[in-house]
Amino acid sequence: EDIPVVYTDCDMTVDEMVEEQMTAEPTVFTNGVFPASEENVEQYVNPENLVSGYEKYQFMDLSVSNNVDSATLDTYLKGKGVLDGHGSEFKKAADDNNVSEVYLVIHSCLETGNGSSELANGVEYNGTTVYNLFGIGAVDESPIDAGAEYAYKQGWTSVEKAIEGGAKWISENYINN
């Protein structure tokens, strides 16, 4: 399938981007861990090297709709636990918060183990069942308790509220920040 490619001018060259990235001492995680060379960094920041396969998606603008309808999202979500049947909620949350609906669905699937995680299926916190579909606040030291506490404070008492609230948080703290 041919997907249209839209090019955007940037205020820096690939060489300037490589130079900037090298100041952060990037690391490569392939067959061990080692410092990335300028060639390693250039391979991944130059879009000409990444125009086929899944790699092209790293350049996708996550602040706009991909024009995927609710029915298509539902098809993808079929059989994915508590996410199944919520395509319209993901689409609305994406539209309301200027976030790609494809990104929201994939992020949620990843964070919830395709809708099967404990936080996705509801955790009781202070006597209230809460849902967290994006892992927001679920820090490594105590992911269930911390993720449930965050969901409780946000009022995410249903899958629908967790989708909308999570999309809002992602928009404000990540995509459109």
Query: Helix 38-45 vs helix 14-22: angle between axes, to the nearest 10 degrees?
Result: 130
Q: Which domain holds residue 88?
A: 70-175
pLDDT of residue 140: 86
| pLDDT tens by residue, 145-156 | 999 999 999 999
How distant is the alpha carbon of residue 144 from its chain centre? 19
pLDDT range class, residue 110, cuts 50, 70, 90: very high
In the chain, the number of structural domains is: 2
- On whether both 33 and 99 belong to a single domain, the answer is no
What pLDDT is attached to residue 1?
52
Phi/psi-derived region of residue 140, left when phi > 0, alpha when psi is between -120 and 50, beta in every other case: alpha
Q: What is the pLDDT of residues 116-136, one digit of tens each?
A: 999 999 999 999 999 999 999
User: Domain check: are 53 and 75 in the same one?
Assistant: no
pLDDT at 159 exceeding the cut of 90: yes
In this model, does residue 2 exceed pLDDT 70?
no
Compute the mean pLDDT over every residue in the chain, rounded to the nearest whole number.
93
Q: Are residues 87 and 29 in the same domain?
A: no
State residue 172 phi and psi, 5-degree precision: -75, -30
Judgement on whether residues 55 and 117 belong to the same structural domain of the protein: no
Q: Cβ contacts of residue 109 below 8 Å, gap of 6+? A: 77, 80, 83, 115
Sequence-ordered list of residues with C-beta below 8 angstroms from that of 60, at least 6 positions apart, any chain: 66, 100, 102, 103
Q: Are residues 80 and 122 in the same domain?
A: yes
Question: Distance (Å, rounded) from C-alpha 114 to C-alpha 111?
Answer: 8
